[in-house]
Structure 1
């Protein structure tokens, strides 16, 4: 501590600019008069640190770690630090030292819960110092039991509230208290002995029992606290607690409570709950074993069917073993007697087929399901039925049913064997996309993600991250798509979801390629190599390789791969994927073929996005600058920013060629506006700045291949052209770009 004389000298040094001093003050405490006099002078710049938001936390972590940080990891640190910058720093340092945050080759991902560092403990203990015993009793209860009703706390919390340690939350007429920061709970618990912890937990459990345990979550807390305190609890309490935890997707709690129940209860239900929890937590093999045991403990057909549903989910999504899932479904169908059981198995078979892109077959099995009286069966199959309608070109019907299904699912309280409600957001978002509302669809998926993060549902988070990646790709926002695909990869790997992992890798490759990060795209494709092709949008799984070929200059290879996948999409009746692939074919030089087919598809479809794509392809094929600008504006309104940029780019080139500089400039302005939305995307359709003369599609294709190191003869052989034709095109490229050598060409294209 500095005395008054030292502070005076320091003040003079600061005024004379001989000293540069940083003061850190605790906003919750008063300062000595001489200190206040020193720091509140005009020469001192004061910065009051505010609590930071989630976006700032993510940006700070990315800067500190010098790499991409997953959305889930950013959410974890935001919640753990409570918006406090100092706490964020200490938690990150602690996580790095303990190995609780790791770089998985794609992004930084949290792998475990991080306790407070010694520095954090010191800071918190300073705030807790000299508190009276009755305050400690309240803090210990809140640290162990979380949010607690004010009427259930012994003593006044006014002192703790004014000290910033406790906050009061109002739920209608009920007021509850909770610690203002999660770090406080960690530090307070570390000061408690095992016996004192047990005493508090048992006292709280007994208090809830005596009050009648009327709230839905009461048995969840009683079971957890009694198990933590004693290591045992009675079977009824454990089962009621497991079910309550399952309703809020607390799978770690379900696992602990259901495991304890299995040790003393030989019945079906604890094994079903345990098997579900193990699947969600990534213990797929053990989940299968427990669920198979559950089928042998089933006392009736309904229980046996529930076990089969959980097994199918673990096989299809966890192991990506669709054949085994369908075989299990067949066996169960042969043994089923009740019509309701057969309806459930028919619905789940449709869901499995939709998961691998067999949309018409899935549709046949799911048709009529929305009219069944059983709400659980409808909740199981309606979202997939709605998705099938959309993917077959009937997005108006798909959107109505998807919204209805989502609403009905939210009303269901008992959710055993049903996925998280936010997973039903996917079909609604897909219908919105195909209805021409791409940005609205992305925002809906983001809301679903936030809800699933709150509940920490791994399967739902994985599926939503992958859907968010595809949604961003449709808009043309490659950096955002890459971030979400990386998150989907990290989640799928961590929880052993081998089904969703494959499309996540492919979307990561596509996004990286569009950002011209060819090495990252190659690594993602290499990681996906040998895995089972899986995904509702199965025909689109070529797009990682397609765009890698395109940015590498091999547009012919990109076109060939697209044509093959388009044929596959048409064969299996996947309208949605075929339309997307045809649009991409148009973007890499196949305008006529794409325009003709898309025009026919648009006539037979209610999907507005297919119609928008058709008009885009037609305008590109006809090279009409007026039509191209109309298409650009239509794509912009739909949220298809990349298509808008490419249409405006083509229009600018044509206007310039015609000598209309005014309209060329306007088109370029539109292109640049859309490019800013597209986040570092590069495609053949966006290839010049305002100073450049536009290249034709063929000139660009040849220029890209030459820039990649191919000789003129190799280019001619690859494109089935004469060498002389290639020579002439290359001379035209050199003239338009004002360059003289192949090295100049590579530099010009990189710009």
Structure 2
């Protein structure tokens, strides 16, 4: 596609339209870095002008044409007039050329775009200046910021003849809009964030990244959402663009860029140990690297991420190995005192052939704690093969589960259980198996594992953790009211892991019971305990935010719930945590559905379902599909709602805590299909289940749905009774509406 959609430039377009309508304005200067989208915006300006009835013309300056007087404008001028002149003759020539050029427009106003005006030859620059000065036409002069330009061009804004508009990179929202316009569907937030980060909003780089990712199949549709299934490699066009910038560098300068592409940021001291320290300064003066202070350290980075992608892709494998070893040795020699130093050194050692099992295992644990599961698994597997023992074996199994390979994880954990030598080892294996079974919707397996662990373990603190997991089983098997009974005494005495695990179950149960204040209190308490854990849980800390969003939504605090979920979602994208992204997408979908914003709800539910499916987390996928079915049902999209329900029915029987919401979702899908009697039955069943198990928020929602399809009288007394038992404005509003 030669002409891409123009996004993220609404303000600039409004300014251009205002200037075009003002007869006293002779033009505008569009300035910005290479690839900022200046030419595309200038084209949009021409479209506006043509739509208003103006005549338009375009010229492009080039390095080669700069050697010829009037070379850039030659296609617009009569051949006989393209000659040089001096003194009064030159003044007369300019007057005649202006008349000739403007005369092409007849009685209409002429709008002239001059692309790359900083490359104009002096004669053309003087002519453009004369056109502006005499207001003979509206001139759009496109220039590259920071580049030298003829005096006559500089005078256009320096002497206030033209307004100068400085274009910056596209924002994240504009990047997402552009990708979605190009692929024709919703795009995963992580894919949009990655492309925004790599391009830094540069429209040219973004275009090439998207085209390259599509051609390579790295950007593809997964269950209705466009995702990056792998990191795209630089396209030929991107390589050409970057090589054009670096082709004149000395070997020493290119080597510095290669090291930075491999390991940025690097401290000035680290870089100076490997290479001559003044080379980085030369590169900074040329705009290829940047430096900044991080405490007392001077950190050096490439000026643009794309430079690193291209340069790194062109480093031979043997040279990469050598560079990795050199970097590891330098950082180790300087002490490697920071947490990120451990990860950097271990990663370089891995590339360079490996390091000690202790280093690799420590780094693997660190990578897991920051949710970089692919790196953590690579490091853990190396540690395992190098003799890392039980800790490495367990971590490899846990990471298999975290990365969606639940069956492999169970096989590994089974093997470990056969050789476990201590209560602590047996307990940690058992709890890893419980986590794996829970997310795979295998409650019977979970119960059997818990029973076996209770029979084998005597340590009181460990048994508290088992009891905490039992509260999850009570929630899944019997619902929130039963969970409340199990967790009641435990919450007061539990600490550490037991408190965190119990707080998650209690938070969900209280959200369903309508005990909003108690739920927020225990969720906050659990999050504080989670942050102080020395060893990570399977469940990330974002789960507490997900619960708080649920509680706030159940109370009717939709603005706060949305803001908290969106903040968590954006943090997940910034940290590269796909699992956190999935949970926050689920939150955003649920809040949007409650607010009646069904299109937004469906979009986030699709994204969350696709991510959870990728991880093999059936529980999360199931929850997202519930929202998806309800959103489509509320939107009247019967076929799409039925497809979501078909996927729900392919799972094992839903856990008890979800039954009421599943039935309500099926009810709205049935409404969309036109079967109101059938929907009435499903809403009644949803109320009965919710009321029985203690999911009072869902029970009230089901009765409200019943009223919305014409059965308010049947719902009124019951919803009033439920409303007396729960907190928050949402249920009160539903009661009032019925």
**2:245 matched residue in structure 1:** 127
2:180 corresponds, among 32, 52, 62, to: 62
Structure 1 runs not aligned, ≥5 long: 618-751
* TM-score (normalizing by structure 2): 0.78
Moved more, 381-390 or 568-577: 381-390
Whole-Å separation in 2 of the counterparts to 1:334 and 1:433: 40
8 Å CA contact 2:401–2:436 kept in 1: the answer is: yes
8 Å CA contact 1:458–1:495 kept in 2: the answer is: no
Q: How do 1:311-710 and structure 2 match up within 5 A?
A: 311-317=433-439, 319-355=440-476, 358-372=479-493, 374-412=495-533, 414-534=534-654, 536-617=657-738
Moved more, 504-513 or 154-163: 154-163
Whole-Å separation in 1 of the counterparts to 2:385 and 2:554: 50
8 Å CA contact 1:267–1:298 kept in 2: the answer is: no
Classify 1:82/1:382 alpha carbon distance in 2 versus 1 (closer, same or farther; 3 Å).
same
2:307 corresponds, among 184, 205, 209, to: 184
Moved more, 380-389 or 249-258: 380-389
Q: How do 1:156-305 and structure 2 match up within 5 A?
A: 156=278, 157-230=280-353, 232-265=354-387, 267-305=389-427
Classify 1:513/1:474 alpha carbon distance in 2 versus 1 (closer, same or farther; 3 Å).
same
Following superposition, the deviation at residue 174 of structure 1 comes to 3.6
Q: How do 1:38-187 and structure 2 match up within 5 A?
A: 42=132, 43-46=138-141, 49-154=167-272, 155-156=277-278, 157-187=280-310
* Cα-to-partner distance string for 1:238-283 (whole Å, 9 max, x where unaligned): 1111112112111101111111111122621112221222222222
Classify 1:17/1:533 alpha carbon distance in 2 versus 1 (closer, same or farther; 3 Å).
farther
Structure 1 ranges of 4+ moved more than 4 A: 13-26, 29-42, 46-49
8 Å CA contact 2:270–2:331 kept in 1: the answer is: no
Whole-Å separation in 2 of the counterparts to 1:510 and 1:188: 48
Classify 1:39/1:457 alpha carbon distance in 2 versus 1 (closer, same or farther; 3 Å).
farther
8 Å CA contact 1:438–1:471 kept in 2: the answer is: yes
Whole-Å separation in 1 of the counterparts to 2:349 and 2:127: 55
- Could you say what secondary structure the match of 1:217 adopts? helix
**1:306 matched residue in structure 2:** 428
Classify 1:294/1:31 alpha carbon distance in 2 versus 1 (closer, same or farther; 3 Å).
farther
- Could you say what secondary structure the match of 1:6 adopts? coil
Whole-Å separation in 1 of the counterparts to 2:128 and 2:250: 33
8 Å CA contact 2:638–2:670 kept in 1: the answer is: no
Aligned CA-pair RMSD: 2.6
User: Radius of gyration: which is bigger?
Assistant: 2
Following superposition, the deviation at residue 17 of structure 1 comes to 5.3
8 Å CA contact 2:566–2:588 kept in 1: the answer is: yes
Greater strand content: 2
Following superposition, the deviation at residue 38 of structure 1 comes to 7.0
Whole-Å separation in 2 of the counterparts to 1:265 and 1:445: 42
Following superposition, the deviation at residue 69 of structure 1 comes to 1.8
- Could you say what secondary structure the match of 2:168 adopts? coil
Whole-Å separation in 1 of the counterparts to 2:435 and 2:104: 69
Whole-Å separation in 2 of the counterparts to 1:528 and 1:16: 69
Classify 1:249/1:569 alpha carbon distance in 2 versus 1 (closer, same or farther; 3 Å).
same
**1:697 matched residue in structure 2:** none
Whole-Å separation in 2 of the counterparts to 1:204 and 1:35: 52
- Could you say what secondary structure the match of 2:187 adopts? coil
Whole-Å separation in 1 of the counterparts to 2:598 and 2:702: 17
